[in-house]
């Protein structure tokens, strides 16, 4: 029996979307307010979904305490209250869009998770805008 367990998490972070090889005007045209040179914050809501088989011995898919701890280390401790452009190495040369943040979260959680599980990352940048990434 395949089932998905989800855990919600939350972090706040600042970012700026821009390309250094573009003018301020072009960055502003393409990225709008998210290109403000002085950065700005978002409240990110995260849902980490883990899919696999129920263990017949325990009745668990995954001990959710393990998932909670992975999210704390790989996402919350790593990104919460950070300036993503300046303090998170993955974004040194990668625009911290909600798409790219979801991919980085996927990669970090996947590396820490038992590889028998499939992983789905749902990341909200605003209450109405969110992306889903499954590593495909």
Using CB under 5 A, list all residues that contact Ni ion: 34
Kindly list the strands in the beta sheet with 2-15, ordered across the sheet, starting from the edge strand earlier in the chain.
Answer: 82-83, 2-15, 40-53, 118-124, 130-133
40 is catalytic: no
> How many C-beta neighbours within 10 Å does residue 55 have?
11
Q: Which of 10, 53, 81, 99 is catalytic?
A: 81
Residue with the shortest CB distance to Ni ion: 34
What is the distance between the alpha carbons of residues 117 and 13, in angstroms, rounded to a whole number? 28
The nearer residue to Ni ion, 51 or 97, going by C-beta atoms, is 97
Nearer Cβ to Ni ion (4/126)? 126
Catalytic site includes residue 15: no
Beta carbon of residue 99, minimum distance to Ni ion (angstroms, whole number): 12
Give yes or no: 125 in active site: yes
Report the distance separating Cα 19 and Cα 12, nearest Å.
23
CA distance 36 to 49: 33
CB-nearer residue toward Ni ion: 54 or 131: 131
> Which residues are designated catalytic?
34, 81, 125
């Amino acid at each position: 029996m395949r089932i998905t367990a989800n855990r919600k998490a939350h972090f706040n972070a600042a970012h700026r979307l821009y390309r250094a090889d573009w003018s301020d005007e072009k960055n502003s045209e393409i990225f709008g307010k998210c290109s403000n040179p002085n950065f700005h914050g978002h409240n990110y809501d995260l849902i980490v979904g883990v899919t696999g088989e129920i263990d017949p011995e325990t009745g668990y898919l995954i001990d959710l305490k393990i998932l909670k701890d992975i999210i704390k280390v790989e996402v919350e401790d790593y990104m919460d209250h950070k300036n993503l452009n300046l303090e998170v190495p993955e974004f040194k040369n990668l625009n911290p869009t909600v798409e790219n943040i979801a991919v980085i979260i996927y990669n970090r959680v996947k590396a820490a998770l038992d590889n028998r599980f499939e992983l789905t990352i749902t990341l909200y940048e605003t209450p109405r805008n969110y992306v889903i990434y499954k590593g495909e």
